[in-house]
Chain A
Amino acid sequence: MTSLADAIPSWPLIATRHLELRKRRGLMIVVGVVTIAPTLLILGLRLAFHLFDPAHYGPAGYPGQFATMASLQAGLGLIVAIVVGATAGTSDLNDGMFRHLVITGRSRLALYLARIPAGLAILLPAVALAFTMLCLVTSYESVPQPAAVVMNDNVSIPAHLGQAQLQTWARQHPRQAAVAFQSPAGITGPRSVSGGDTHYADYLTNEVTQFEPPVNEMAKVGLWVELEVGIGFLVGLGLGSLTGQRAVSSILLLGFELIVTPILASVAIPYFLDGQRLDFGVAMDQLRPVWLVASTDVGGLGNVVFGGQGAARIPPMPTWAMISVIAGWIVVWSALGAWRMMTRDA
């Protein structure tokens, strides 16, 4: 029976697992090309064009680009995370090292767990690097920020207001609010985003398309992107360990995420709504930060940890449900992978 202490991977074991992964030249090139190269290429070209011909090319950063690029990073990051996870989960088996490792007497659970920090130590910095580039360009190479959010009929509302602050402002400026939101009754009554009142959503949408995100919103988006990548890796690792086949695991997960999830996130299937919500991609989409949601027009708004709620074409999930689904995917796939690792004939 494996004791808890035996199951904890040692630092040298994690370091050598990391070494094994990062010495895979082809895989590292894929990681670099998929996570860093698009951001580097797009932003680099925009910076270069603006550098050499500022009269015709505006600054590299502009409102909306941040969300587009961050969404791209999340999508591509998820793909590469699945591939890296499946590789980490199958490399020992495919290379014939699993038997050697088991003969050392080391807990098989520890061998499995050591791959998690080792793989994440490759993926997360790469994604963070790309995201940092995006944040730097957005913060320092963007168009000048307006002083206020411009609504209908050029009504200006102070920027960066919360929902309550917006209502307070509306009470203080009822006529401007009525014009701004084209709502003669004003917006000071009880509000519910999911109930159809989209005034705050309209405000946020205008703000996101006119402003670059503040630092705290950038941090939220960055964390969400890293979470997406981390989950992709863990699921890939678990499925890879379970099947022992890298290609099969990668194709299955990529097919699910690129074909099935978009369908589940965009169409409310009668009598299958809860089933749709069990897809971690749907849950992650609903957890999408507001700065990504509004500007990319993929869903409505919410007030959960990340401040947003995508996949609004299906009824929203409670926060606890989103977190449960995401945690469930992590736990279930990790448990399946670890179980197979512990019971597999070497």
Chain B
Amino acid sequence: MSAMNVIDAQALAPPARAVGGPAGGAGLHNGGVFVLALLVLVGGYFAVTRIGRGRRSAPKDETWVPREPPPERPTPSPPSEPPGATAVAPATAAPATVAPVPRRRPAVSFDRPAAGWAVEAHGLTKRFGANVAVNGVELCVPRGSAFGYLGPNGAGKTTLIRTLLGLTRADGGTMSLLGFPVPAERKQALARVGAIVDEPRFHQHLTGRDNLRLLAAARGGGASDRIESSLQRVGLTQRAGDKVASYSMGMRQRLGVASCLLGEPELLILDEPMNGLDPAGMHEMRTMITSLADEGRTVVLSSHLLDEVERTCDALAIVDRGRIIRQGPIDELIRTAGASSLQVDCADPALAARLIDEAGIAAGTSRTDAGLTITLPAGASRELIADVNRRLVTAGIPVYGLQEVRASLEDWFLSVTTRLGEQP
């Protein structure tokens, strides 16, 4: 990560306007005094309303300087890394090991937590005429998790978020945020929630800081005291004095996140925060989201970008046509839903295939250029991989490597949404 290089841009006060001139001479008529008086009055008025305020001359550098991630947080997996874990068995009889997929936070539990759910919705329904945008949604988001809300465009993701936040009225069902029923205790709930819904838009004629001042005033409490820290957190301190009209999409997204942080939220709901960002911006946004989750906040990330959700979140719900198809920890969903396979690099693939088929422990085997591919049954545990390795070694077949190939989130997502799409 690059070194921090934040320079606080000071508000540059416009030079005071020189108003008026030398006082009129004694020979001037009283009307001259009035002309001068009127000029002073009008000049004073314009000065008060700051119509003639000059533009700030803050540097236009858009350098994004996110906070360094906490040292205890492991580095996210690189994009090229396959989602399945890789393990190489020793060529000898040593048992194969399969490394688990590293997760950044403790495993997410969907058993009802003692602290309650961050988001809970039952039978939530929202209609627009004949169109059911949110269709009886049952959603539970564990506290402290990074939760992905994944679905194709038009699936009803934004409508669900708007309904949860009380931006639009639900037509049915119940919901709560951080244990506060909505809309009955919406004010208490939203005091602890920060959210970006859709594309973040602000008053274009105001600076980023002024927009935050407006939102902080509406939020109340100590929000005004957190403006600078929020700007610094998202790396916008240098450009905070510039008008939002001059901001790039990425900067507006960051300003949106800064507005979320004004209330020290326990729950962050981010709707498509990667939209419009270039790869570097997406990386920065991802880093920030994970760091926010690492602080113990619950982050709900709505997105149609599978890769982003898989790399950022612990758990997810997949939504299509207003309905949640699946929800749970990502690892568990992939493991239970997608067929995994085991690539075996061994000395005698034919003999190994016959041995495994006779044992009846796999769903199937096939010969490939790389050796032997064993299709694992759904829900197979890691012990099965060790069992395969043990049987081959016991039969005297040298094993050079074992690699589990799991279905990616994308494979699974496409399969479940396609199945749904095929329904009448």
- Contact partners of B35 in chain A: CB under 8 A: 44, 47-48, 51
Q: Which residues of A contact B341 (CB under 8 A)?
A: none
- Per the bound structure, the CA–CA distance linking A107 and B34 in Å amounts to 47
Name the A residues within 8 Å of B168 (CB-CB): 345-346
Interface code B185-212, partner A: CB below 8 Å = 1, 0 otherwise?
A: 0111111011101111111111000110
Contact: A91 with B203, CB < 8 Å? Answer: yes
- Contacts of A202 on B, CB cut-off 8 Å? none
- Residues in B neighbouring A197, C-beta threshold 8 A: none
B38 touches A22 (CB 8 A): no
Residues in A neighbouring B194, C-beta threshold 8 A: 103
A94: min CB distance to chain B, Å: 9
B87 neighbours in A (Cβ, 8 Å) = none
- Given the contacts A22-B50, A91-B203, A44 and B218 also touching, CB distance less than 8 Å: no
Cα–Cα distance between A101 and B262 once the two chains are bound (Å) = 12
| Binding-face segment, A5-13, A145-153, A253-261 | A5-13
By the criterion CB–CB under 8 Å, are B51 and A29 in contact? yes
Q: How many Å lie between the Cα of A44 and that of B42 in the bound state?
A: 12
Most A C-beta atoms less than 10 A away, residue of B51, B168, B191, B217: B217
Task: Using C-beta atoms within 8 Å of the partner chain, give the interface range for chain A.
Answer: 35 or more
A132 within 8 A of B: yes
Interface residues on B, range: 35 or more
Contact of B42 among A13, A111, A129, A346 (CB under 8 A): A129
For the A-B complex, the count of residue pairs with Cβ-Cβ distances under 8 Å equals 144
Cβ contacts under 8 Å, B217 to chain A: 10, 12-13, 15-16
A346 touches B162 (CB 8 A): yes
**Which chain B residues border A104 with CB–CB below 8 Å?**
190, 215, 218-219, 263
The answer to whether A102 touches B187, judged by C-beta atoms less than 8 angstroms apart, is no
Beyond A40-B42, A96-B201, is A50–B219 a contact (Cβ under 8 Å)?
Answer: no
Kindly identify which residue among B162, B186, B259 contacts A105, using a CB–CB cutoff of 8 Å: B186
Q: Is the CB of A102 within 8 A of B166?
A: yes
User: A184 → chain B, closest Cβ, in Å?
Assistant: 47
Question: B224 in the interface, Cβ–Cβ < 8 Å?
Answer: yes
Rank and list the top 7 A-B pairs by shortest CB-CB distance, nearest first. Answer: A96-B201, A105-B190, A47-B31, A346-B167, A12-B217, A51-B31, A104-B219
19 contacts between A and B (CB under 8 A): A10-B217, A13-B220, A15-B217, A16-B210, A19-B206, A19-B210, A20-B203, A20-B206, A23-B205, A51-B32, A99-B197, A102-B165, A103-B165, A105-B189, A106-B219, A345-B167, A345-B168, A345-B169, A346-B167
Seen from chain B, the residues whose Cβ lies within 8 Å of a Cβ on chain A are: 28-32, 34-35, 37-38, 41-42, 45-46, 49-51, 162, 165-169, 186-191, 193-195, 197-206, 210-211, 213-220, 224, 259, 263
